[in-house]
């Protein structure tokens, strides 16, 4: 099982992000981490949350354009050079990262990196063979 | 052919017949309707002097506002006791326009619709499901009477309730579906999203009779492919009679105008001058046989071209091009004439784009700025910026190549484009010209 990320289309105007967050808040969806990729007229909000299936359904019901994407979440040591080490593995395998972002875990000394690949399974295999722990959905929300 | 005597009449004879019938229609309007009498008198035109088709240019025009001003019965030319039915436009932009029919008018209406259906290959063996709205709108009852006249088993289901439409198509063995092109697409979407188990290609449905709104060739392609049918255009205006003023044939190249009942001209929308055959302009209608509500030189605002060719279907009646736009929503952008329907075609072509769009024209300095807002459809959305960026670039390039304009493309959220009465507002012109 992979971590499910919600991707939401948002116009680049005041109030539009708020509208989406309000819908999620009122539905008791807890956001674990998020990032926004922006252009001049729109942005894509990428969200990892506790109940992605429910969040997706509720956003669609409110006519918000969104989709679910499987992303790769790995745990790395929260220490200098650790991210570089992980990324080196992808480079060696010729795997292109579409985008990535991070958050530190509440557990001490760990960070969770979120990666988006064209082919998540290949990337997963490359990392597991190097001893990385692939984070599953359950563990993120298990906190 | 439903009525070969007229539909395949030699052109010289058609013109003779039209002249004869025009004389009757003009004098009928003049003698029996006060509005026309005043109009003709003011223009110094007396139907008694009408000698050749060329004299038509002396006859004053009738426009939509005249019809509204004469609400409800001001344009009737027969006593109400002879009128058996009325139809009416919705009147969202002013008074409604009301059109009356005598029993003979209803018969003509049914005849031209029957001819239209036959020109798509329909026969009395066909089962016709009429999914146009029944009521004051001419679509439902128009197709209904035409279907019965041809001898089709006619199913008066009216519009909406897609699940039921699908059930009847399957259970009744419907072979012809009459609806608006946007409803046809709506059915295709419904099938895809809610009824993947329903295989339209396994039903008997083979023909779509689509009209009541302008639609593009790209839309035809999409409807035909997704529903597995042949889609034909039926054209008409309630002011003239309703659907069946003109109709495509199996050649799908232009619509034959039923010239024994309607006289058509193309004019320059700005000057009102009649343009020679083959030139593009606004199409103007004159009824030749209508009793209750004769229309004399009605300015439709629809932009098209008239021409004669030797059509493979054998009909000699003049052809009009599929209507590409209306003279009142034509935009001139940096000197280029653009119709919203052309913009729609481009958007349809770029795969996956549903045409919910709005064109905003503004002027900065001496140049026109064009922005096209496109609502992002679900199947178009991606979590990757580059995919959405590519889409914008693709649309932009198609605009440049097909329409010759460079436009800024803005992707917007669904339902963010203002809709009035369920119809999107397609054009916002902020220029003060």
Of A7, A42, A64, the CB nearest to B383: A7
In chain B, % of residues over pLDDT 70? 93
CA distance B343 to B357: 9
| Token output for B385 | 């910026």
Mean pLDDT of chain B: 90
Same domain, B205 and B154: yes
- Confidence at residue B323, expressed as pLDDT on a 0 to 100 scale: 85
Residue of B82, B113, B91, B90 lying closest to B2 (CA atoms): B113
- Confidence at residue A128, expressed as pLDDT on a 0 to 100 scale: 85
- Which strand (E) or helix (H) includes residue B325? strand B325-326
Q: What is the DSSP letter of B97?
A: P
- Confidence at residue B420, expressed as pLDDT on a 0 to 100 scale: 54
- Confidence at residue B355, expressed as pLDDT on a 0 to 100 scale: 67
Same domain, B371 and B290: no
pLDDT per residue as tens digits for the range B59-97: 999 998 899 899 999 999 999 999 999 998 765 445 678
Same domain, B344 and B297: no
* CA-based radius of gyration for chain A: 16
Residue of A nearest to B378 (CA): A65
Same domain, B335 and B319: no
Same domain, B235 and B150: yes
Cβ partners under 8 Å of residue B222, min gap 6: B185, B188, B348
pLDDT per residue as tens digits for the range B384-395: 999 999 989 988
Count of pairs with CB atoms under 8 A, one residue in A, one in B: 51
- Confidence at residue B400, expressed as pLDDT on a 0 to 100 scale: 84
- Given CB atoms, is A106 within the 8 Å cutoff of chain B? no
pLDDT(B57) > 80: yes
- Confidence at residue A105, expressed as pLDDT on a 0 to 100 scale: 73
Residue of A nearest to B392 (CA): A41
- Given CB atoms, is A77 within the 8 Å cutoff of chain B? no
Of A9, A11, A16, the CB nearest to B381: A9
CATH code, domain carrying B350: 3.30.300.30
Q: Do B383 and A63 touch (CB under 8 A)?
A: no
On whether the CB atoms of residues B219 and B226 are closer than 8 A, the answer is no
pLDDT per residue as tens digits for the range B240-296: 999 999 999 999 999 999 999 999 999 998 899 999 999 999 999 999 999 999 999
Taking domain A71-141, whether its CATH number is 3.10.20.30 is answered by no
Q: Do A116 and B381 touch (CB under 8 A)?
A: no
The pLDDT averaged over each successive group of 10 residues in chain A (143 residues) is 91 93 95 91 93 94 92 89 91 91 78 90 87 72 45
In chain B, % of residues over pLDDT 90? 65
Q: How would residue B219 be classed by pLDDT, with cut points 50, 70 and 90?
A: confident
Same domain, B292 and B403: no
Of B389, B413, B415, the CB nearest to A9: B413
Q: Report which of residues B17 and B377 the model is more confident about.
A: B17
The domain spans of chain A are 3-69, 71-141
Which residues span the domain enclosing B338? Answer: 331-429
- Confidence at residue A139, expressed as pLDDT on a 0 to 100 scale: 57
Same domain, B51 and B163: yes
pLDDT per residue as tens digits for the range B368-382: 788 999 888 888 889
Average pLDDT rounded to a whole number, residues B293-317: 95
Q: How would residue B236 be classed by pLDDT, with cut points 50, 70 and 90?
A: very high
| Token output for B91 | 């009147």
Residue of A39, A33, A32, A50 lying closest to A12 (CA atoms): A39
Taking domain A3-69, whether its CATH number is 3.30.2130.10 is answered by yes
Of A37, A39, A65, the CB nearest to B378: A65
Quick one: CA torsion of A32, A38, A41, A47, rounded to 10 degrees?
Answer: -20
Q: Do A44 and B376 touch (CB under 8 A)?
A: no
- Confidence at residue B380, expressed as pLDDT on a 0 to 100 scale: 82
Same domain, B63 and B170: yes
Same domain, B134 and B248: yes
CB atoms within 10 A of CB A22: 12
Q: Do A11 and B385 touch (CB under 8 A)?
A: no
Q: Do B383 and A46 touch (CB under 8 A)?
A: yes
| Token output for A13 | 């105007």
Which of the residues A7, A41, A59, A64 would you substitute to probe the B interface, choosing the one with the greatest number of B C-beta atoms within 10 Å?
A: A41
CA distance B9 to B11: 6
For residue B138, the SS3 value is helix
pLDDT(B150) > 90: yes
Average pLDDT rounded to a whole number, residues B135-153: 96
On whether the CB atoms of residues B396 and B407 are closer than 8 A, the answer is yes
CA distance B53 to B19: 6
CA distance A112 to B87: 68
B-chain residues within 8 Å CB-CB of A4? none
- Confidence at residue A142, expressed as pLDDT on a 0 to 100 scale: 43
CA distance B322 to B311: 15
pLDDT(B339) > 70: yes
- Confidence at residue B93, expressed as pLDDT on a 0 to 100 scale: 46
Same domain, B343 and B286: no
- Given CB atoms, is A124 within the 8 Å cutoff of chain B? no
Q: For chain B, what's the residue count?
A: 433
pLDDT(B50) > 90: yes
- Only one residue has tokens 């699940």, namely B163
- Confidence at residue B35, expressed as pLDDT on a 0 to 100 scale: 97
pLDDT per residue as tens digits for the range B164-195: 999 999 999 999 999 988 789 889 988 988 89
Same domain, B367 and B262: no
Q: Evaluate the CA torsion angle B121, B126, B131, B133 in order and state its sign.
A: positive
- Confidence at residue A137, expressed as pLDDT on a 0 to 100 scale: 62
- Confidence at residue B418, expressed as pLDDT on a 0 to 100 scale: 72
- Confidence at residue A133, expressed as pLDDT on a 0 to 100 scale: 84
**Taking a contact as any Cβ pair under 8 Å apart, which residues of chain B between 323 and 382 contact chain A?**
376-378, 381-382
CATH code, domain carrying B28: 3.40.50.12780
CA distance B341 to B216: 7
Same domain, B153 and B251: yes
Q: What are phi and psi of B230, to 5 degrees?
A: -95, 125
Average pLDDT rounded to a whole number, residues B336-363: 76
Q: Do B413 and A11 touch (CB under 8 A)?
A: yes
- Only one residue has tokens 């009009």, namely B320
Q: Domains in chain B: how many in total?
A: 2
B-chain residues within 8 Å CB-CB of A35? none
DSSP for B362-390 reads: EEETTEEEEEEEEEPPGGG--SSHHHHHH
């Amino acid at each position: 099982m992979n971590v499910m990320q919600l991707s939401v289309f948002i116009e680049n105007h005041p109030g539009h992000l708020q509208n989406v967050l309000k819908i999620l808040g009122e539905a008791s969806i807890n956001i674990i981490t998020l990032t926004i990729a922006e252009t001049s007229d729109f942005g894509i909000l990428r969200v990892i949350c506790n109940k992605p299936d429910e969040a997706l359904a509720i956003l669609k019901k409110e006519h918000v354009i969104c989709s679910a994407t499987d992303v790769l979440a790995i745990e790395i040591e929260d220490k200098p050079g650790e991210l570089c080490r992980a990324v080196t593995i992808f480079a060696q395998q010729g795997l292109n990262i579409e985008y990535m972002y991070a958050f530190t875990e509440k557990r001490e000394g760990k960070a969770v990196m979120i990666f988006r690949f064209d082919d998540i399974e290949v990337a997963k295999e490359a990392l597991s063979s190097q001893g990385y722990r692939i984070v599953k959905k359950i563990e993120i929300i298990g906190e | 052919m439903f009525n070969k005597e007229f539909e395949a009449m030699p052109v010289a004879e058609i013109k003779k017949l039209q002249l004869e019938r025009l004389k009757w229609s003009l004098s009928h309007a003049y003698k029996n309707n006060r509005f026309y009498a005043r109009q003709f008198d003011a223009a110094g035109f007396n139907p008694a002097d009408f000698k050749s088709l060329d004299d038509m240019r002396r006859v004053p025009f009738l426009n939509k506002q005249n019809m509204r001003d004469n609400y409800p019965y001001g344009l009737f030319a027969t006593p109400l006791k002879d009128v058996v039915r009325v139809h009416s436009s919705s009147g969202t932009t002013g008074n409604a326009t009301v059109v009356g029919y005598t029993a003979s008018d209803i018969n003509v209406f049914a005849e031209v619709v029957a001819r239209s259906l036959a020109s798509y290959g329909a026969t009395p063996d066909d089962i016709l499901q009429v999914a146009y709205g029944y009521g004051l709108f001419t679509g439902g009852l128009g197709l209904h009477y035409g279907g019965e006249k041809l001898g089709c088993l006619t199913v008066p289901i009216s519009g909406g309730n897609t699940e039921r439409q699908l059930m009847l198509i399957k259970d009744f063995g419907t072979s012809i579906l009459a609806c608006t092109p946007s409803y046809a697409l709506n059915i295709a979407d419904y099938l895809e999203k809610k009824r993947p188990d329903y295989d339209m290609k396994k039903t008997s449905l083979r023909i779509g009779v689509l009209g009541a709104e302008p639609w593009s060739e790209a839309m035809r392609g999409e409807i035909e492919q997704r529903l597995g049918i042949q889609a034909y255009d039926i054209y008409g205006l309630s002011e003239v009679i309703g659907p069946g003023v003109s109709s495509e044939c199996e050649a799908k190249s232009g619509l034959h105008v039923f010239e024994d009942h309607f006289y058509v001209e193309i004019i320059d929308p700005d000057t009102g001058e009649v343009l020679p055959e083959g030139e593009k302009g606004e199409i103007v209608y004159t009824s030749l046989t209508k009793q209750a509500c004769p229309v004399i030189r009605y300015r439709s605002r629809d932009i098209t071209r008239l021409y004669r060719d030797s059509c493979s279907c054998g009909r000699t009646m003049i052809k009009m091009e599929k209507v590409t736009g209306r003279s009142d929503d034509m935009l001139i952008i940096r000197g280029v004439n653009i119709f919203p329907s052309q913009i729609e075609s481009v958007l349809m072509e770029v795969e996956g784009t549903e045409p919910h769009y709005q064109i905003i024209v503004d002027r900065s300095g001496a140049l026109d700025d064009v922005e096209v807002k496109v609502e992002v459809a679900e199947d178009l959305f991606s979590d990757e910026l580059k995919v959405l960026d590519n889409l914008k670039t693709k649309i932009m390039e198609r605009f440049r190549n097909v329409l010759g304009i460079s436009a800024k493309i803005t992707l917007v959220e669904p339902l963010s484009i203002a809709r009035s009465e369920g119809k999107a507002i397609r054009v916002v012109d902020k220029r003060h010209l």
